[in-house]
């Protein structure tokens, strides 16, 4: 298909979106990610019946907690598409990257950078 | 098992604000099963706290550990060697675990990370309901295995009261009338004659009314 997708995100493959737990999402943010999006199969089409519903719940949990600590719940999103929808994946990726760009870097990433600078100066 | 629920994160943040080295301590028993204070919840809480303080440029050490139980000396001893490295411990165990840890480590503040709710059952995924109030004198043999102490809002021992409507309690349309359940079960067991027997006055001294309770078993003491 040779579709154009942004290059500034990393794809982490999981056997089913239901494998994604809130801690995986939080760890990504802790390590400095500006945004996380989970892409699961279409709702109702999960091979394991409810994997994508579980994923959505966890994304919601993560969003809630990120909001509470001022990082921004909008930085985490759940998308659904079927495995044959490459163009839609490209579209969602661009959408997410633009959304995150609009929000700017995550406060955790900025803090990490400041910490690194301080360590360098010392 | 003991049912607990996570405390709001804002409350925990406020409690630990003043401490720089914090240990988040989970428990592998009841609170793991009710998904409030097991290893997973410890990881999540520690991660959230780290991010919260990091974003505020406050350097804090937030470590994680989960013990088999926090209501036993044996397991709580496992942190004796490391406890001095921390200014405070957030225990995700039930109130028993928090207190036992606090008693053991007199000079380290032990803060609760969960609210202990009741003794209950895992009725459905994400649904825990009360089944026992540890009154200390079980009447289940007489009530068809349904507890009027924990499940009747009035703790009526010869029920139902006049507030039951269509099998529901007057406190809420979602709450079953315990006595309706008892009667249904006694009918199913063919033991309705038990219902006719008037329960004697219950000795509440074995409940909280008699103060904190202890169980001493000379036969298992060493």
In this structure, the answer to whether residues B109 and B18 fall within a common structural domain is: yes
Distance CA B198, CA B173 (A): 28
Q: Hey, is B26 helix, strand or coil?
A: strand
Distance CA A45, CA A52 (A): 9
* Alpha carbon of B205: minimum distance to chain A alpha carbons (Å): 44
Average pLDDT score over residue span B93-111: 97
In this structure, the answer to whether residues B139 and B114 fall within a common structural domain is: no
Average pLDDT score over residue span B38-53: 97
pLDDT in tens, A6-36: 999 999 999 999 999 999 999 999 999 999 9
Residues A42, A44, A47, A48: what is their CA dihedral angle, to the nearest 10 degrees? 120
Please list the residues that pair with A40 across neighbouring strands. A80
Instruction: Flag whether B215 is in a domain.
Output: no
Instruction: Flag whether B124 is in a domain.
Output: no
In this structure, the answer to whether residues B63 and B112 fall within a common structural domain is: yes
pLDDT in tens, A72-122: 999 999 999 998 999 999 999 999 999 999 999 999 999 999 999 988 887
Cβ atoms within 10 Å, residue B210: 11
| Pairwise CB contact (< 8 Å): B44 & A70 | no
**Local confidence band at B105 (pLDDT 50, 70, 90 cut-offs):** very high
In this structure, the answer to whether residues B148 and B71 fall within a common structural domain is: no
Nearest to residue B15, comparing CAs of B66, B63, B42, B49? B49
First-residue to last-residue Cα distance in chain A: 50
**Local confidence band at B161 (pLDDT 50, 70, 90 cut-offs):** very high
Instruction: Flag whether B218 is in a domain.
Output: no
In this structure, the answer to whether residues B61 and B11 fall within a common structural domain is: yes
In this structure, the answer to whether residues B24 and B109 fall within a common structural domain is: yes
Distance CA A4, CA A10 (A): 15
Instruction: Flag whether B185 is in a domain.
Output: yes
| Pairwise CB contact (< 8 Å): B55 & A65 | no
Closest residue to A27, CB basis, from B47, B54, B56? B47
Give the model's pLDDT for residue A43. 94
In this structure, the answer to whether residues B16 and B111 fall within a common structural domain is: yes
Last residue of a domain, one of B91, B118, B145: B118
Instruction: Flag whether B128 is in a domain.
Output: no
In this structure, the answer to whether residues B65 and B141 fall within a common structural domain is: no
Please state the separation of Cα B20 from the chain's center in Å: 29
Residue B77 has pLDDT above 90, yes or no: yes
In this structure, the answer to whether residues B37 and B141 fall within a common structural domain is: no
**Local confidence band at B67 (pLDDT 50, 70, 90 cut-offs):** very high
Distance CA B91, CA B65 (A): 10
* Alpha carbon of A30: minimum distance to chain B alpha carbons (Å): 6
Instruction: Flag whether B212 is in a domain.
Output: no
In this structure, the answer to whether residues B114 and B184 fall within a common structural domain is: no
Closest residue on chain B to A112 (Cα): B54
Last residue of a domain, one of B88, B118, B148: B118
Distance CA B160, CA B75 (A): 45
Residue B210 has pLDDT above 90, yes or no: no
* Alpha carbon of B151: minimum distance to chain A alpha carbons (Å): 31
In this structure, the answer to whether residues B22 and B111 fall within a common structural domain is: yes
Last residue of a domain, one of B66, B88, B118: B118
- Residues in chain A with CB shorter than 8 Å from the CB of B59 are 115
Residue B208 has pLDDT above 90, yes or no: no
| Pairwise CB contact (< 8 Å): B50 & A30 | yes
Nearest to residue A57, comparing CAs of B126, B12, B46, B127? B126
pTM of the model: 0.93
Strands (E), A1-122: 36-40, 76-80
* Alpha carbon of B68: minimum distance to chain A alpha carbons (Å): 21
Query: What is the CATH classification number for the domain harbouring B90?
Result: 3.40.50
Residue with tokens 């088999």: B68
| Mean pLDDT, chain B, integer | 95
Nearest to residue A36, comparing CAs of A120, A113, A118, A108? A108
Instruction: Flag whether B150 is in a domain.
Output: yes
Structural domain span for residue B199: 134-207
Residue A1 has pLDDT above 80, yes or no: no
So what's the ipTM on this one?
0.93
Closest residue on chain A to B57 (Cα): A111
Average pLDDT score over residue span B171-195: 95
Task: Return the higher-pLDDT residue of B210 and A116.
Answer: A116
pLDDT in tens, B12-34: 999 999 999 999 999 999 999 99
In this structure, the answer to whether residues B36 and B100 fall within a common structural domain is: yes
Distance CA B162, CA B158 (A): 12
**Both tokens of residue B200?**
């004697």
Instruction: Flag whether B123 is in a domain.
Output: no
Domain count, chain B: 2
Strands (E), chain B: 2-6, 21-27, 61-67, 88-91, 110-112, 114-124, 127-132
Give the model's pLDDT for residue A50. 94
């Amino acid at each position: 298909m040779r579709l154009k997708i942004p290059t500034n995100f990393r794809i982490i493959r999981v056997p089913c979106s239901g494998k994604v737990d809130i801690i995986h999402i939080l760890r990504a943010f802790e390590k400095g990610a500006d945004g996380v999006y989970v892409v699961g199969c279409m709702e109702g089409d999960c091979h394991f019946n409810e994997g994508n519903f579980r994923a959505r719940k966890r994304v919601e949990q993560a969003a809630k907690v990120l909001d509470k600590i001022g990082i921004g719940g909008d930085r985490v999103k759940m998308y659904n598409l079927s495995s044959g929808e490459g163009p839609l994946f490209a579209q969602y990726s661009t959408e997410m990257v633009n959304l995150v760009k609009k929000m700017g870097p995550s406060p955790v990433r900025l803090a990490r950078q400041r910490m690194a600078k301080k360590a360098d100066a010392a | 098992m003991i049912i607990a629920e996570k405390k709001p994160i804002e409350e925990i943040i406020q409690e630990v604000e003043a401490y720089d080295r914090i240990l988040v301590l989970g428990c592998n028993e009841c609170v793991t099963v009710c998904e409030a204070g097991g290893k997973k919840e410890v990881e999540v809480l520690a991660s959230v706290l780290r991010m919260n303080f990091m974003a505020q440029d406050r350097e804090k050490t937030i470590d994680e550990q989960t013990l088999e139980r926090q209501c036993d000396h044996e397991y709580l001893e496992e942190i004796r060697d490391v406890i001095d490295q921390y200014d405070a411990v957030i225990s995700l165990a039930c109130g028993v675990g928090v207190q036992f840890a606090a008693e053991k480590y007199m000079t380290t503040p032990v803060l609760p990370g969960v609210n202990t709710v009741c003794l209950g059952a895992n009725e459905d995924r994400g649904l825990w309901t009360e089944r026992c109030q540890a009154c200390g004198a079980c009447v289940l043999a007489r009530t068809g295995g349904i507890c009027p102490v924990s499940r009747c809002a009035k703790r009526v021992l010869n029920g139902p009261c006049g507030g039951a409507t269509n099998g529901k309690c007057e406190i809420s349309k979602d709450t079953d009338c315990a006595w309706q359940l008892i009667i249904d079960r006694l009918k199913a067991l063919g033991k309705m004659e038990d219902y006719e027997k008037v329960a004697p006055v219950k000795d509440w001294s074995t409940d909280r009314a008699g103060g904190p309770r202890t169980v001493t078993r000379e036969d298992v003491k060493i």
